[in-house]
Amino acid sequence: MERPDYSALTKVLEEMNKEGGFYASVLSRDDGWPMANAVAPRTNPDVVAAMSGYVASTVERMRKDLELGEVKDIVVRCSAGKAVIRKIGSRDEQTLLVAAIMPKSVRYHSRAIGKGATTIRQIMRYKR
């Protein structure tokens, strides 16, 4: 099997940031391991990846216990901005997450994240 072009991942995240008005985006595994990022200088991509994995696993347990169905997005809204975490694919036991950090003025994030997630899924050959 041919290895995916990992260098393309950063370009996808940069385009996602530009289109969505985000100041940071990080691709990580669900265990918090960062794979690629496009972040502003003061944003630590390792922290974003680790927190995304933690939040996603917590929400996954809640979803199962409360029988809520599949999670679409996890949105954390704060006074200075928001973080959106989306599961973008899985292979075997491994799940990929993309997290986007944005100012509170950004109202529409779904299209940019959706396009980025689709492209990353294709590059990485992950199924939905």
Residue % of the chain over a pLDDT of 70: 96
pLDDT for the residue 39: 95
Predicted confidence at residue 1, as pLDDT, reads 53
Q: Where are the beta strands (DSSP E) in 5-122?
A: 24-29, 34-39, 74-77, 81-91, 94-103
Query: What phi and psi, each to the nearest 5 degrees, are found at residue 15?
Result: -65, -40
DSSP state of 32: S
Q: Is the model more confident about 22 or about 5?
A: 22
Q: pTM for the whole thing?
A: 0.90
Is residue 56 in a domain? yes
The answer as to whether 19 is a domain residue is yes
Please report whether residue 1 resides in a domain: no
Q: Quick check: is 86 in a domain?
A: yes
pLDDT at 76 > cutoff 70 = yes
pLDDT of residue 128: 65
Residue 63, domain member (yes or no): yes
Is the pLDDT confidence value at 9 over 80? Answer: yes
pLDDT at residue 78 above 60? yes
* CATH number for 62: 3.30.450.30
Q: How many domains does the chain have?
A: 1
Which residue range forms the structural domain that includes residue 16?
Answer: 7-124
Bridge partners (DSSP) of residue 9 are: none
